[in-house]
Amino acid sequence: MFSSDRWRSGVVLALLVLFVAVTFGPALVGRGMLLDTGWLHAMMPYAADGPIPQGTLWCRGDTWDYYLPGVENIVEGVRHGNWQTWAPYEVGGAPLASLPNHAVLSPVSWPYWVMPMWLAPAWVKLTELVLVLAGMVLFLGRLGVRRSIALVAGLVFFTSGFMMMWTNWPHTKVACLVPLLLWALDRAVHERGARDLAAVGLVVASMLLGGFPAVTMFALTLGGIYVVVRALALRDVRRTLIGGGIAAGGVGLGVALSAVQVLPFALNMSALGIDERVPNQVKPASLALTTVAPDVYGTCVDGLWAGEDNPIESIAFIGVAALVLVLCALVVRLPGGRRPSTPALLAVVLAAIVWLLWIGGLPLELLQKLPGYSSNSFGRANSIFGFLCAVLAGIGLERLVQRAEDADSSDREDRPWRPRLMVSLVVLLAAVGVAAYFLYAAYAFVDGAERPIPDVAAKLRVPALLLVVSLLAVAATLLLRGRLRLLGRWCSRWP
């Protein structure tokens, strides 16, 4: 089935290299720095060199005045033989390397230890990309998705709103490991070996040392649901218990491996009384438009933002084409009538996250009464939203390609079509209803806004055009049934 995938993977990898070269490639070789330092021009002595440069993202203050200076203090302290557990520069002082907040022990942060601080952030971002791609190839490979498509899914996740907006915060150092976590947990359930326990432990430890436990908690919640459902699907009590035990043991191993910073973090949280903090409310439904148009309310570049919340927290871009492929994962069946359960499971979790993120209500209120969730903003579940959309987009693209490559159409007459049609119609109508609800919420917000809002309709024209193009591409792919196999065979003849 994947005989022609080698050349496709080569093409995708070449496009990925081009993507890196034209985005943060210059920063990888020292031509600029992947950090929003332009805001420093608002303060002396930097203001003497001129005003804040045009194009500066104004909403990234923590990255250059807290995280990177803290990382530099820790690294320089180690080079001089001192593990800096305390920072005296803040008012009254504050914990430093004793907590995972700066992610210096995360494997993702290796560039900070071997490169200059002005060069390391770009290489950290490249490391995140490599880990996302590797994790997607491994995880989706276990779900029957070819490598070239898994690489595309990895790029979808890497360019999602969460992974872009939280650049240079610890958040993305944790989120980039979510695909590897699901891969390790899937192996733990089905392979049930000591290596699988170790793999889960190493990934969990890396996430806990990544400095943002909220994303780790959301990822482990997704992983827990995934493990339970996949283990029960084994239909064997012994294998179910062993698989679940290995997955749970791997999580425990990860906590133990990261205990040097996780235990002080837990003690610090209890001392601060974070559990008594009022949970964040639901995100305004109008912000759901950022899933297809990230700049619909601005992006905080040059301080321009007209949305209802912090843009770093709010932008949840995934792309129109990716969302169309998510629907394809649910309505396009595989050749031969095969019906794997994993896409349905992931779709149910995705629907729940969409509800909790932008609709809320009683489900969110009940969830935020649970330990851990009571002190966390559910908006950080944008990370899981982006991951699930990317995975389902990969599965949807795989189904489209398999249907197009399948030259045997005899199964269409052998199976009843009415149930399939009804399911597809229900899914499509639900998608249209959700889109209409969020559009209505956005225009209601614009009409009642106290300050001028950019032309939302103009910002949605390009996504609307891309939607039409994506739908036409899906239709053309399904109509070219069997043609892609001939194309693949022809291309595979070339060296």
| DSSP per residue, 231-268 | HHTT--HHHHHHHHHHHHHHHHHHHHHTHHHHHHHHHH
Same domain, 263 and 393: yes
Q: Sign (positive/negative) of CA torsion 287, 101, 246, 189? A: positive
Structure token digits, residue 381: 């579940």
Cα–Cα nearest to 1, from 343, 327, 335, 393: 335
- Give the per-residue pLDDT at 410: 47
- Give the per-residue pLDDT at 457: 82
Q: Do the domain assignments include residue 149? A: yes
Mean pLDDT for 243-262 is 95
- Give the per-residue pLDDT at 406: 73
Alpha carbon dihedral 249, 106, 169, 44, in 10-degree steps, equals 150
* Rounded CA separation 42/60 (Å): 14
Percentage above 90 pLDDT, the chain: 52
* Rounded CA separation 394/149 (Å): 6
Residue-range definition of the domain harbouring residue 394: 5-13+122-485
Same domain, 113 and 235: no
Same domain, 475 and 365: yes
Same domain, 207 and 353: yes
pLDDT at 192 over 60: yes
Q: Do the domain assignments include residue 213? A: yes
Mean pLDDT for 177-205 is 96
pLDDT at 154 over 50: yes
Same domain, 255 and 402: yes
Which of 77, 95, 117 is at the close of a domain?
117
Q: HEC profile for 197-232?
A: HHHHHHHHHHHHCCCCHHHHHHHHHHHHHHHHHHHH
- Give the per-residue pLDDT at 44: 77
- Give the per-residue pLDDT at 397: 94
Task: Give whole-number Cα distances, 285 to 290, 358, 361, 436, 437, in Å.
Answer: 10, 5, 12, 11, 8
| Cβ partners under 8 Å of residue 221, min gap 6 | none
3-62: per-residue pLDDT in tens? 578 888 999 999 999 999 999 999 999 998 998 888 788 777 877 888 888 878 888 888
Percentage above 70 pLDDT, the chain: 90
Same domain, 108 and 135: no
Helices (H), ranges, 379-448: 382-405, 411-414, 418-448
- Give the per-residue pLDDT at 476: 86
pLDDT at 1 over 50: no
Same domain, 44 and 169: no
Same domain, 91 and 164: no
Q: What is the DSSP letter of 308?
A: S
Same domain, 184 and 96: no
- Give the per-residue pLDDT at 388: 98
Cα–Cα nearest to 192, from 238, 154, 127: 238
DSSP reduced 3-state for 94:
strand
Cα–Cα nearest to 141, from 176, 178, 106, 180: 180
Same domain, 219 and 344: yes
Task: Give whole-number Cα distances, 263 to 75, 142, 266, 268, in Å.
Answer: 21, 34, 5, 9
How far the first Cα of the chain sits from its last, in Å, is: 19
* Rounded CA separation 299/305 (Å): 6
Total count of domains within the chain: 2
Cα–Cα nearest to 100, from 215, 196, 188: 215
Query: What rounded mean pLDDT belongs to the chain?
Result: 87
Q: Do the domain assignments include residue 409? A: yes
Q: Do the domain assignments include residue 29? A: no
277-311: per-residue pLDDT in tens? 555 667 888 899 999 999 888 888 877 887 777 88
Same domain, 70 and 200: no
Yes or no: say if 91 and 159 are a contact pair by the CB < 8 Å rule: no
Q: Do the domain assignments include residue 363? A: yes
Using 50, 70 and 90 to split pLDDT, how confident is the model at 275?
Answer: low
484-494: per-residue pLDDT in tens? 555 555 555 55
333-361: per-residue pLDDT in tens? 877 666 677 888 999 999 999 999 999 88
- Give the per-residue pLDDT at 229: 93
Alpha carbon dihedral 429, 435, 441, 443, in 10-degree steps, equals -120
pTM confidence score: 0.91
User: 378 or 104, which is more confident?
Assistant: 104
* Rounded CA separation 36/55 (Å): 10
- Give the per-residue pLDDT at 279: 59
Mean pLDDT for 137-162 is 96
Cα–Cα nearest to 133, from 16, 254, 289: 16
Same domain, 163 and 106: no
Q: Do the domain assignments include residue 25? A: no
369-420: per-residue pLDDT in tens? 888 787 777 888 999 999 999 999 999 999 998 888 775 554 454 555 566 6
Give phi and psi for 410, each to the nearest 5: -65, -25
Mean pLDDT for 306-325 is 89
- Give the per-residue pLDDT at 307: 72
Q: Do the domain assignments include residue 495? A: no
Q: Do the domain assignments include residue 326? A: yes
